[in-house]
Amino acid sequence: MIETLQGLVGRDHVLTGRDMAPYCGDWTGKYQAEPLAVVRPANTDDVAAVVKAVAAAGGAIVPAGGRTGLVGGLMTRGGVMLSLERMNRIHEIRAASRLARVEAGVILSSLHEAAEAEGLYFPLWFGARGSATIGGVLSTNAGGSNVLRYGSTRGLCLGLEVVLADGRVLNLQSELHKDNSGYDLKDLFIGAEGTLGVITSAIMRLVPAPRAHATAMLGMARLGDALDLLNRLQGESGGLVEAFEFMPASYIERLVAVRPDVGAPFAGRYPVNILVELGATAPHLAEAGPDGQVALTGLLEGVLAPMMEQGLIEDAVLAQNEAQRRALWQRRELAAEITFAKKPAIDTDVALPLDGVEAFLTGIAARLPGLDAGASDLAVAHLGDGNVHYTVFPSREDAALSDRIVSAIEDVVQDLGGSFSAEHGVGLSKKPSMARRKDPVALAVMANIKSALDPKGVMNPGKVLP
């Protein structure tokens, strides 16, 4: 098999033995893959040839992007890991149509830079943007901080090219915003985590680059008041809120402990810390007035001021320049680092109705001591879209205990009408949750789709479906 693969893509692009080490470790430290080889194709024809050869040999294909996943999506024992890192070309940025035609191995930050050079913006933004790839974010339907305004990856994709499990190339590279010609096949592959095919290229939507940002960190006492603030800001700004991130006091304390060089945003301690950012493309909002203040910042201050007078906002820091804005964002983007600095950790990624976030945190806080008296927890949230990253640090490494804790989290989420998976995917980690919580009919339909597209189980087997 290895000799066959070398003949297809070249000896230098089939890694084995110790050369595979950088590809095998899971970012969380939970999983360690043992692939037969890591293959690095140069183009779609290479991908198709590799898939055909592996399928003919009865093997498995595990697609790999930036390897920043958190749910074990790259785990394999003996499968062929298909790294698309060489397929990293941005074929074109079409400013007039506001789209980008890119290969799956393009790193997210590279697309940001290419769009920016054309006065445009690709509005998918999160901490791992320097390593995550377009293929990876499509395969997991990644979210991030700007979902509130722009939607998740699925909403940013116009078209795809996919290599199927039998090596055929499915051309779905439409540039259309409307196409009702049958089933929407594109959306089958977005969020499928490589279980239905290998995404090789995509057409992504771009938006006008904001001319100005208004960014602030706020200290508050109640989460309900923060949600009221979000609604006020959306109304007053006409929907210009790009991010609305929640960091409780426990998050700030852990941030200071793990990264004292960054420090806390305030001298005092507040139960609720909100990072809010507005973005504007309209020139009149990006211009500075006679006092030197940008109009968008004035708009933000105008909404904050009465709430501060009422005591609903107890403290605030507004970024006065780009360096201060980046400093505020750094506190939020260190979430993964400060979370996984402590072990063992049970990482969950749940979605809730916006007004259910506070009830979730209250409900699970009441249940956790009964499950593990020595456990502690940590939460951070994209409050604007109801996505909570909730981590429990149990008192001991115990698989049965972990399962009970995760099940309790699912109970609270389900009672509130939420989902156990928001933006990280299912992979291996959430397969028990799928078995417990996903509608049985939905699971049966998903299994039928998998069987129809991949009857031999070639594509990333053992993931997603319980």
Domains (ranges, CATH) in the chain?
2-83 (3.30.43.10), 90-208 (3.30.465.10), 212-335 (3.30.70.2190), 342-445 (3.30.70.2740)
87-108: burial string, b at 16+ Cβ within 10 Å, e else: beebeebeeeebbbbbbbbbbb
Q: How many residues does the chain have?
A: 466
Q: Percent of the chain beyond pLDDT 90?
A: 94
Chain centroid, CA 28 distance in Å: 15
Largest pairwise CA distance in the chain: 72
Instruction: Place 76 in a pLDDT band, splitting at 50, 70 and 90.
Output: very high
**What residues pair up with 172 in beta bridges, in sequence order?**
160
**What residues pair up with 274 in beta bridges, in sequence order?**
218, 246
Q: Which two tokens stand for residue 401?
A: 């205990």
pLDDT of 27 above 80: no
| Backbone Cα Rg of the chain | 23
**What residues pair up with 101 in beta bridges, in sequence order?**
92, 203
CA distance linking residue 288 with residue 294, whole number of Å? 4
pLDDT of 7 above 80: yes
- Which amino acid, 110? S
Q: Which two tokens stand for residue 221?
A: 């006492």
CA distance linking residue 86 with residue 106, whole number of Å? 9
Average pLDDT, stretch 73-97? 97
pLDDT of 70 above 90: no
Neighbours of 414 (CB within 10 A): 14
CA distance linking residue 237 with residue 304, whole number of Å? 12
What percent of the chain is helix, strand and coil (3-state, nearest 5)? 40, 25, 35
What's residue 112's pLDDT?
97
pLDDT of 291 above 90: no
In the chain, the N- to C-terminal Cα span, in Å, equals 29
> pLDDT digits over 199-208, tens only?
999 999 999 9
Sheet of 241-248, strands arranged across: 313-318, 212-220, 272-280, 241-248, 376-382, 387-393, 346-351
Residue 422 and residue 387 in contact, taking contact as beta carbons nearer than 8 Å:
yes
Average pLDDT, stretch 165-175? 97
Angle between helices 295-309 and 223-237 (to 10 degrees): 140
CA distance linking residue 324 with residue 330, whole number of Å? 10
Query: What is the overall mean pLDDT for the chain?
Result: 96
Residue 161 and residue 87 in contact, taking contact as beta carbons nearer than 8 Å:
no
Chain centroid, CA 135 distance in Å: 12
Q: How far, in Å, are 173, 198, 200, 316, 404 from residue 100 at the CA level?
A: 11, 19, 14, 38, 45
Tell me, what DSSP letter sits at residue 210? P
Contacts for 107-110: CB closer than 8 Å, 24+ residues apart: 107/66, 107/131, 107/132, 107/133, 108/66, 108/132, 108/133, 108/134, 108/137
Average pLDDT, stretch 26-41? 90
Q: Report CA dihedral (123, 124, 125, 127) to the nearest 10 degrees.
A: -170
CA distance linking residue 301 with residue 232, whole number of Å? 12
pTM of the model: 0.93
Q: Which two tokens stand for residue 293?
A: 């203040």
What's residue 290's pLDDT?
83
Q: Considering only CA atoms, which of 128, 113, 133, 132 is closest in space to residue 209?
A: 113
According to DSSP H, which parts of 197-347 are helical?
Answer: 223-237, 249-258, 283-286, 295-309, 322-333, 335-340
Average pLDDT, stretch 404-417? 97
Look at strands 14-15 and 37-39 and give their pairing.
antiparallel
What's residue 196's pLDDT?
98
CA distance linking residue 261 with residue 333, whole number of Å? 14
Instruction: Place 288 in a pLDDT band, splitting at 50, 70 and 90.
Output: confident
